[in-house]
Amino acid sequence: MLVLAIMQVVGTVGVGIAPSIGVLLAGEVTQNEAWAGLARTASTLGAALMGIPLGNLAARFGRRFALSSGWWIAALGSAILVYAAQYSSVVPLFVGLLLIGAGSAATLQSRFAATDLAQPAHRSRSLSLIVWVGTVGYVLGPNLGIPGGAIGAATGLTVYASAFLIAAVCLALAGLLVFVMLRPDPLQVLARQSSSGAVAPQRKSGRLRQMVAEVRRNPRARYAAVAILSAQIVMVSVMTMTPVHLEHQGGSIAIIGITISLHIAGMYALSPVVGILADRYGYRLTIVLGIVILLASFLIGILKPDEVGWLMTSLVLLGLGWSFVNVSGSSLFSAAVPDGIRASAQGGVDALSNLCGATAAFAAGPLLAVSSFPVLNVLAAIIMVPLIFLTMGRNHRGNLAS
């Protein structure tokens, strides 16, 4: 847990740059606001593409190998973005953002790594603690433009290029930390326990097929997956376009950075509280709380779209609601899926989550261009309707109490 926590703090500094500086860089390089959404799509798509491979790597070789691979791929992407930012090059921009998405996949997998050896009664707490420590990095990441300005003055790099240089160093260091220090590997310890009959072994063939079949037949796993996907879609779609909307309102890069940092603080700062509540009172209660908070966020976005203070409040609530739904859904998914396919299934649901987020970001850019920020929030509220009905359904109440 200590190694995962240190790794998470260092790595998320690099990952946290994509939602704000990456989006603004895309707008500057392409001179087309719709490309701002596509930029976020590239990093989220990268996370989606890496989710299943990293899950399969973990199942075969352990968490240490999978996590370090993810961080180092992201470091390469950030290094490419230094070039893209310095020379306003479009192709390296999207290649770099695609690769930096591997860091998001590693971040997501690390929260599941915390549950490998956790006691069932403390599974949500362990997962949420690793989510929580990433708050530091995720809050600092969007503000790398500030030290980037100082580095740029000394090196001749642009502010954006300097920021991605800092991110590349942090991502590479995160990979080195986990590769050297995550011993013993928690998933390999779990595999050794399986040899004595403590848990079922990780099956090596047809992992993706097994994961899909499990979600289809297992109502708890299916409900958890819907919760994770719904929260990701609405969070990414609204958060992606908020920097662009703020820029249209005359907001500076400092205001945009602070707003995204507050949003990310909402996503992660209270996650241990969410984990404790989920362990003690059940997943359904915390998911209900998350839905209510998300709807409050959308309401503010609809009614107060032009006031920076209210937008900051809306983004904080958006992050907090996402935290309640995502932490609860992720913990429930880990509890519901058998040990034999757990790592691969976790990678699969993360990949699907990021793919849905990428699709949402892709759609959000053109949508904002032809409509408005309130319309985006209305659509986000509509997307929550299936999860609301599932949560209210009688068939889930007994299952979700545990």
Each residue's pLDDT expressed in tens, for the chain with a length of 402 residues: 899 999 999 998 888 777 667 777 877 887 765 666 566 678 878 888 898 899 889 888 999 999 999 999 999 999 999 999 999 888 899 899 999 999 989 998 998 898 888 887 888 888 999 988 877 777 777 677 778 778 888 888 988 889 899 999 999 999 999 999 998 988 888 777 755 544 444 444 455 676 677 788 889 999 999 999 999 999 988 987 887 777 777 666 677 778 877 888 888 888 999 999 999 999 999 999 999 999 999 999 999 888 888 899 999 999 999 999 999 999 999 888 887 777 878 888 888 888 888 888 778 878 887 888 899 999 999 999 999 999 988 454 444 444
- Relative orientation angle of helices 159-181 and 63-87, to the nearest 10 degrees: 170
Can you tell me which residue has the tokens 């013993």?
184
Please give the Cα distance from 64 to 46 (Å, whole number): 20
* Angle at CA of residue 363, ends 296 and 290, nearest 5°: 25
Query: Do residues 270 and 320 make contact, with C-beta atoms less than 8 angstroms apart?
Result: yes
Which region, left, alpha or beta, applies to residue 350 given φ > 0 means left and ψ of -120 to 50 means alpha? alpha
Integer angstrom CA distances of residue 242 from 275, 346, 374:
28, 29, 11
Neighbours of 208 (CB within 10 A): 16
* CATH architecture type of domain 2-400: Up-down Bundle (1.20)
Taking Cα atoms as reference points, which of 330, 340, 338 lies closest to residue 191?
Answer: 340
Query: Would you list the domain boundaries of the chain?
Result: 2-400
The whole-model pTM stands at 0.77
Pair of tokens at residue 329: 């859904």
Taking Cα atoms as reference points, which of 102, 101, 83 lies closest to residue 160?
Answer: 83
